Amino acid sequence: MPALTLEPFRRRVEQLRDAWAERRALRRIAGAHDRASQLALLRTLHGWAVEAAADIRAVYGPGLAVEVSRLPADDAEAAAFTVRVAQDHTLTFALVERRRVGGTRWHIAVTMSTGGPRGSTAAAGPERRNGQWTRARLEDLLLSLLGAYERARSEGSEGAG
């Protein structure tokens, strides 16, 4: 049996192992709702977004602007970053405070905005019931944003880029 047929399976095994290792590492910070833990989660999401943006640029080339904003300093009052595709398609990841009777809890809120005449803004991100962040969930949000961009291009509300 040629070695080439084994390589794809080996890569899938590596991906499985890496995904579970990543999930275990994230569980520690994602399950805590203090500001420091959620800020660490926001930094992790930012790193994944930077890597995903590079992949998008590699596929689309220079004709599509894809930008990830910088994260503010840890002590900044508002912690957020935005992924922008073209001029008016964005995903914004923000650290938000939710006050409850039992105290303050922090979480990551995500907003997707699409431009054009039929543009909209909507909450996005993992649902609370199964709300653990994974790289795949972030990538799914980016694919949704790219889908909205492609839909807008097809409807003629976006430039030729």
Structure-token pair, residue 44: 């992790």
**Portion of the chain with pLDDT greater than 70, in percent:** 86
Q: Comparing C-alpha atoms, which of 79, 72, 83, 91 is closest to residue 37?
A: 79
Confidence band (pLDDT; 50, 70, 90) for 134? confident
Structure-token pair, residue 109: 């809120």
| Cα–chain center distance at 71 | 14
The C-alpha atoms of residue 140 and residue 111 are separated, in whole angstroms, by: 14
Indicate if the pLDDT at residue 127 is higher than 70.
no
* 112: in domain: yes
Q: φ, ψ for residue 60 (rounded to 5)?
A: -85, -25
Total of domains in the chain: 1
* 84: in domain: yes
pTM of the predicted model as reported, rounded to 2 decimal places: 0.80
* 136: in domain: yes
* 160: in domain: no
Per-residue pLDDT tens digits for 1-47: 455 555 788 888 998 898 888 888 777 777 788 888 899 999 999 99
* 161: in domain: no
Q: What is the DSSP letter of 67?
A: E
| Cα–chain center distance at 102 | 30
